[in-house]
Structures are given as structure tokens and as C-alpha cells.
């Protein structure tokens, strides 16, 4: 009997060792076990958080806090996925803005919370201290999906007045709290938090169990013929090198309501660049007016990529012709067709969504011809000679010259007496004096008889 008991104990010990070995090797690389150290879990206390016995949970940790007015403290948003793989998580949270406000490290009101590092891409990070709302989203756009315990983000609160405020996950409104794998929501439970400021009883955290969501949700609105589309406007144009121009991202949904859009665009970075109004490269595009919350807005001019996402946080989902965003391009080099492509393939799949379902049916790219500078053809240039202007020259006017009249003188000549002589009378000799203008003066020369 003693040998049998010894053999049984040995068998049980062997099974326990085998179980522990299997459990250790079952932990995937990079995953953090739930009972890991505080350093491994970004400062979270060991053993904190909801049970991982079943399903995927999201929690505020610690679940309850007590503070005094003007105290600043942090709580963490933690996803416990166990062995379930996840590729995205979004937390939509409400709090009482009369008791708490979200602040930065200096204690000043902030419009964002502290991002986690578990997922590869931060999709949304916004705080509204007026209404007491936080919306944060991360996704795994590259690399393998995650599992285990994931520190999603950290909220830094400041207590501003006495009272009690719940820190509650929003599960039944858009945008809602989700943990996803390939677009399916795998979240099964959410553990809310509570903060008591001033004297009062210790707050109690509440847990909410979610009904299991169908892996592929179905939109309830009617999709118009042809289906909702994403297009670039203008679809084509001719531009000059160095010219900047605007391209709108337009969603045409007809009667189909949409509560979100994500657009991933590829362009040739050797031909085009996304710039600001001054022509300088920028890291984001211009959000449109269709949705009230921008979730993602990123430009990589080196890779030629634009990632943009927006959603409807409040009010009715829009429909019809919607301005999603505007891109300001600068033409960099000559190209017969600088294509701007709306990506529809994983992992950068553009979407129009309604209640979690992708209702996008078609996309339309943009095609832009970029022309080089016009080279002028030399042409004969007519040089006008200066017109010669005649300068009046003084022309002397003929002035009549008065020639003094010669006074005839009588010369007496004594002749010998009685000697007849022939008297020769010379005809009058005409003397002509020419003047500059052809005037004539006649000077008679009178020969007197002797």
C-alpha cells in the first residue's frame, strides 16, 4: 500500500512538472504574463486586474482611488486577453468633469492621455475635459497580433472638487469600447473604475459583462445602388512642376449613413509631396467637415503614404456627399500620370463604416499629369530705331541791303579851244549785286558828259 501511495505521489508530481513546463512554453514571445512584475507591466502592481479565467477584458487599474482636491494621480487602461490574439483596442471612457480633469505632467489640462507602447500604431487620442470624455485607439498595423496582458494607455487625473466620479467604459454608443481581431470584437467584459475625492467611503469598481458580438456585424441601413464610394476630386488634372494644388477625399454614400471613415493613400514621392499653404512638407492633411473626431492623421512624404481616419463621436451619422479630408500636393517632377491611389488591401484597407460594418463598395483614384516648364522658342525681335526728329535750323532771311547811292560828281576838263572832239557816251553799265535770297538791286552808274 505504501509503495502504491509513493508511486501515485510521484505520478502526480510528474504531471505537475509537465503542466508547468507546458505553461511556460505556451507563453508567446513578447507577451507579458498576468502575474508578471510591475516593471514588465509598465508599473502596474503584480496581480492587479480582472480575472483571465474566461474571455477578454478591459479594465481601469487600480479600479478604485481616493484623493484630495488638487491631487494628481494616474490610472491605467489594461487589456487582459489571455491566449486570445488581438490586433486592436479602443477605449471610449466617460468621467465627471466637475470632479476630475485630465492633465499633463505639469498638472495643466490636457487634450490627450499617455500612449501605451504595446501596439504598433496609435490611431486616436483625444480628451474633452468639458464633457468628460476620452477616446483612445491603437492598432497592430505591422507585426503579429498580441495576447496576454496589454497596457493600453495611462490617464493622469487631477482632482478638482470633492465628490465621487465613475470612470466608465462606453459600450453601447459610438465610438464604443472594443478589443478586436480582424475587425471582430472579442471583448467580453469591462471593469470600470471609481474615484472618491475628499472624505467618503471607499469607492467600488463595477464590472460589465458584454454579450458576445457576432464576428461579422451587418449594417442595418440600406446601401444605395453601386454602394458607397471613396473618390478623389478632381479625378484628373494637369499641373506644372512647382505648382501646389488641392485634392479632396470625397465619400459618396447616398442614403447610407456612415459613422466612420479610414482612408489609406499611396502616391509617388518623387513626383508629389504633401505640403502646407507655403509649399513646405507637412506630416498631416486637412480634416474635412463630415466627422467630428479625427482618429488618425499621418503623412509620410518619404514613403509616399497618407493615413487618415475620422469618426462621429456625437450626433447623427452623416450620409450623402461627404468631405472626408483635403490634401494639398506640390508637383515635384514631370510625369505623364502621377497616380494617387486609395488602398483597399490589408493591412492598409480603406473603409467606410456603419455600426462596425464596412459598407465601402468602390474607390476611384486620382491621375495627375505634371508638365515641365515651357521653353520659349527664340523669335525675331523687332528693334525700333529711334525716329530722327529734324531740329529746326536757323535760315538767314534775305535782308535787303541798301547800297549807298553814288553821288555823281562833275569834273571840269579844260580843253584846248576850238578843238573839236568826239564825245563818246557810254551806255549805262548795269551792276548786279546778288543777295542771299535772290533780291536784285540795280545801281545805275551815270556817266556825265564832260
Q: Please check whether the domain covering 32-209 is classified as CATH 2.60.40.680.
A: yes
pTM of this structure: 0.43
Distance between CA 309 and CA 287 in Å, rounded? 9
Q: Extract the runs of DSSP E, i.e. beta strands, from 312-406.
A: 321-331, 335-342, 351-354, 357-358, 362-364, 366-371
Q: Which of 184, 213, 156, 219 is nearest to 358 (CA)?
A: 219
Instruction: Please answer whether residues 326 and 308 qualify as being in contact, where contact means their C-beta atoms are separated by less than 8 angstroms.
Output: no
Model pLDDT, residue 27: 38
User: What are the sequence ranges of the domains in the chain?
Assistant: 32-209, 229-371
pLDDT in tens, the chain (450 residues): 455 444 545 555 455 444 443 433 443 433 333 333 333 333 333 333 444 346 899 999 999 999 999 999 999 999 999 999 999 999 999 999 999 999 998 999 999 999 999 998 888 888 999 999 999 999 887 789 999 999 999 999 999 999 999 999 999 877 789 999 988 999 999 999 999 999 764 555 555 555 544 333 333 333 445 789 999 999 999 999 999 999 999 999 999 999 999 999 999 999 999 999 999 999 999 999 889 888 899 999 999 999 999 988 778 899 999 999 999 999 999 999 999 999 998 888 999 999 888 999 999 999 999 998 765 555 555 555 555 555 555 555 544 544 455 444 444 444 455 545 444 444 444 445 444 444 444 445 444 444
Secondary structure (DSSP) of 384-432: PPPPPPPPP---PPPPPPPPPPPPP--------TT---PPP-PPPPEEE
Instruction: Please answer whether residues 131 and 190 qualify as being in contact, where contact means their C-beta atoms are separated by less than 8 angstroms.
Output: no
Instruction: Report the residue count for the chain.
Output: 450
**Domain 229-371 is of which CATH architecture?**
Sandwich (2.60)
Model pLDDT, residue 380: 54
Instruction: Please give the C-alpha separations between residue 273 and each of 78, 248, 349, in angstroms, as whole numbers.
Output: 39, 15, 22
- Which residue do the cell numbers 471582430 mark? 184
- The torsion defined by the Cα of 50, 54, 58 and 59, in degrees rounded to 10, comes to -10
Instruction: Please answer whether residues 126 and 61 qualify as being in contact, where contact means their C-beta atoms are separated by less than 8 angstroms.
Output: no
Is the fold of 32-209 the same as that of 229-371? yes
Amino acid at each position: 500500500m505504501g509503495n502504491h501511495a509513493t508511486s501515485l505521489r510521484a505520478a502526480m508530481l510528474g504531471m505537475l512538472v509537465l503542466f508547468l513546463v507546458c505553461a511556460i512554453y505556451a507563453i508567446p514571445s513578447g507577451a507579458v504574463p498576468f502575474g508578471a512584475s510591475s516593471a514588465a507591466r509598465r508599473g502596474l502592481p503584480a496581480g492587479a486586474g480582472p480575472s483571465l479565467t474566461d474571455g477578454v477584458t478591459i479594465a481601469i487599474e487600480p479600479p478604485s482611488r481616493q484623493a484630495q482636491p488638487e491631487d494628481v494621480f494616474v490610472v491605467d487602461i489594461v487589456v487582459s486577453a489571455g491566449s486570445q490574439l488581438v490586433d486592436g483596442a479602443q477605449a471610449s471612457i466617460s468621467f465627471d468633469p466637475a470632479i476630475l480633469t485630465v492633465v499633463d505632467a505639469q498638472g495643466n489640462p490636457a487634450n490627450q492621455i499617455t500612449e501605451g507602447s504595446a501596439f504598433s500604431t496609435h490611431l486616436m487620442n483625444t480628451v474633452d475635459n468639458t464633457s468628460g470624455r476620452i477616446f483612445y485607439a491603437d492598432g497592430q498595423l505591422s507585426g503579429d497580433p498580441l495576447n496576454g496582458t496589454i497596457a493600453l494607455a495611462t490617464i493622469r487625473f487631477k482632482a478638482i472638487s470633492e465628490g465621487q466620479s465613475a470612470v466608465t467604459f462606453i459600450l453601447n454608443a459610438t465610438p464604443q469600447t472594443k478589443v478586436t481581431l480582424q475587425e471582430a470584437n472579442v471583448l467580453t467584459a469591462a471593469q470600470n473604475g471609481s474615484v472618491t475625492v475628499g472624505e467618503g467611503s471607499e469607492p467600488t469598481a463595477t464590472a460589465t459583462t458584454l454579450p458576445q458580438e457576432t464576428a461579422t456585424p451587418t449594417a442595418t441601413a440600406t446601401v444605395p445602388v453601386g454602394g458607397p464610394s471613396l473618390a478623389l476630386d478632381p479625378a484628373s488634372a494637369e499641373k506644372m512642376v512647382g505648382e501646389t494644388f488641392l485634392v479632396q477625399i470625397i465619400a459618396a454614400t447616398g442614403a447610407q449613413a456612415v459613422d466612420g471613415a479610414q482612408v489609406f493613400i499611396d502616391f509617388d514621392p518623387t513626383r508629389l509631396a504633401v505640403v502646407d499653404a507655403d509649399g513646405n512638407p507637412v506630416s498631416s492633411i486637412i480634416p474635412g467637415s463630415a466627422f467630428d473626431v479625427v482618429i488618425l492623421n499621418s503623412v509620410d512624404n518619404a514613403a509616399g503614404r497618407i493615413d487618415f481616419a475620422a469618426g462621429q463621436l456625437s450626433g447623427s451619422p452623416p450620409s450623402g456627399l461627404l468631405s472626408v479630408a483635403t490634401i494639398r500636393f506640390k508637383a515635384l517632377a514631370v510625369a505623364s500620370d502621377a497616380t494617387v491611389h486609395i488602398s483597399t488591401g490589408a493591412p492598409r484597407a480603406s473603409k467606410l463604416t456603419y455600426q462596425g460594418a464596412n459598407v465601402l463598395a468602390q474607390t476611384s483614384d486620382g491621375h495627375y499629369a505634371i508638365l515641365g516648364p515651357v521653353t520659349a522658342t527664340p523669335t525675331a525681335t523687332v528693334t525700333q530705331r529711334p525716329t530722327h526728329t529734324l531740329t529746326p535750323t536757323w535760315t538767314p532771311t534775305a535782308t535787303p541791303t541798301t547800297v549807298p547811292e553814288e553821288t555823281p560828281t562833275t569834273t571840269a576838263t579844260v580843253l584846248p579851244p576850238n578843238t573839236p572832239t568826239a564825245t563818246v557816251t557810254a551806255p549805262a553799265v548795269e551792276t548786279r549785286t546778288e543777295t542771299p535770297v535772290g533780291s536784285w538791286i540795280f545801281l545805275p552808274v551815270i556817266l556825265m558828259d564832260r
